[in-house]
Amino acid sequence: MAPTIALAALMILFAFSEYIASKTRATISSVLALAVLMLAGFWTGILPKDIFETTGIKTFGTLIAGLLITSLATTLDFAEMKRQIKVIIIALVGVAGGTALIFAAGYAFHMFDFALAGSPIFAGGSAATLLITTALDGKGYELIITFCLGLLIFQKFVGIPIASYFLKKEARAFIADNNAVAQYAHDNQSDSATKPKLLQIPEKEQKASTYLAKLSLIAVISYVLAGLTHGVVHYFVMCLIVGAIAYALGFLESGILQKAQSNGLIMFLVTVLIFSNLASVTPAMIAHIVGPLILFMSMGVIGVLALSYLTGKLLHVSPYLAMALGISCTFGFPTTLVMPQEVASSVASNDTQKQAIENYLVPKMLVAGIITVTIASVLMAGAVVNYF
């Protein structure tokens, strides 16, 4: 297949998967749709097995991934995190509980490699999956890679209904307290974003190319620093760390990929790169991972809910809210933003209640998702790849 045709085929599949997700209101997620479409293409022979090499995505996507991980650091609102310290503790302890049970199940059923590779993905999502699958690629871990992709695809179907159920319980209890509704009826935004930062460049002096250049510079610095650790700290993890520092100093801006007008292309390249290993997946491999998927997702959910519940009790946080915060690790943003809004619309009886519920739940869910999906899972994945 000619490179131009191959690239067009992948772009069409990616666009169609997002269309399916939009039409089904994410009941069928874009990652599930893309995985099914690509598997169908490979198994029927419509898509050639070497399509990722033919298009150059295998190489270029890996290079671009550093920019995406760096941009994730610009979602870290340190002022909001300081206000949501209880949320951070609950989310981290919840992830620790889920990971502990996943490891225990891995030992008990002699599938520790599955547990080790899967735990960062259960704690996060695409970024951790990218890190794990790229590290395992070409090392004979095809079955484990398939398991990781399955976990990324299906854990959302477990976590989202659970979180939605608990958030609705929390919202109903919240609006029963008139004082709480009055307190949260008006949105009190932090003025931290208006304060000038040390390395901040005026927006009017920047172009799309400027934002890309700054991302690239931080990625290069991260690459050099990661090299100095001799593999102890993975390049992607260093991108997150250095990116967070650059964002705190004002060198990088929030939503920098959108400002660089590159978000769509980079997301396409990285998402397709994550699923590039599907070219070697067989029906037999799919059958082999069903058992481990059910086992480890079940153990992870039980561990997260149990530890989140107990931590919430200790911190005097509602158990419903605590468990919703913990299980946010299975889906992350933008669901952590959309779900509280949908809950508010379904539970509130007037606009004041709706606004109050959103102001109460949205910041907490956003912080929980950032802590688990953006930070904890990437750090865990960076440590795990050294084992393999």
Q: Which domains does the chain carry? A: 3-188+202-386 (1.20.1530)
**Which three-class secondary structure state does DSSP give residue 111?**
coil
**How high is the pLDDT of residue 236?**
83
Return the C-alpha torsion angle 277, 282, 284, 286, nearest 10: 50
pLDDT tens column, 359-385 = 999 889 989 988 998 889 989 998 898
CA proximity to 114, closest of 138, 143, 72: 143
As a whole number of angstroms, the distance between CA 80 and CA 255 comes to 16
Which is more confident, 262 or 93?
A: 93
What's the confidence (pLDDT) of residue 6?
A: 93
pLDDT tens digits, one per residue of 249-294? 999 988 898 898 888 888 898 888 888 888 888 899 999 999 999 9
Question: Which token pair is 204?
Answer: 């009017």
In the prediction, which pLDDT does 228 show?
93
**pLDDT band, very low/low/confident/very high, at 194 (cuts 50, 70, 90):** low
- How confident is the model at residue 101, as a pLDDT? 97
Q: How confident is the model at residue 317 (pLDDT cuts 50, 70, 90)?
A: very high
Helix (H, G, I), strand (E, B) or coil at 232: coil
Taking 90 as the threshold, does the pLDDT of residue 202 lie above it? no
Q: What is the pLDDT of residue 187?
A: 61
What sign does the dihedral 31-34-37-39 (CA atoms) show? negative
Task: Determine how many CB atoms are found less than 10 A away from the CB of residue 255.
Answer: 12
Question: What's the rounded Cα separation, in Å, for the pair 274 and 282?
Answer: 17
C-alpha 140: how far from chain center: 26
Give the pLDDT band of residue 76 (cuts 50, 70, 90): confident
d(CA 46, CA 330): 32
- What's the rounded Cα separation, in Å, for the pair 207 and 211? 7
Contacts of 100 (CB under 8 A, 6+ apart): 303
Residue 216 and residue 67 in contact, taking contact as beta carbons nearer than 8 Å? yes
Per-chain mean pLDDT for the chain: 89
Close Cβ partners of 191 (under 8 Å, ≥ 6 residues apart) = none
User: CA-CA distances (angstroms) from residue 347 to 25, 85, 156, 343, 364?
Assistant: 19, 27, 23, 6, 18
Angle between helices 351-369 and 319-327 (to 10 degrees): 50
- Give 24-53 pLDDT, tens digit per residue: 876 787 888 898 999 999 999 999 999 998
C-beta atoms surrounding 204 within 10 Å: 5
Residue 326: its H or E element: helix 319-327
User: What digits encode the pLDDT tens for the residues 62-74?
Assistant: 788 889 889 888 8
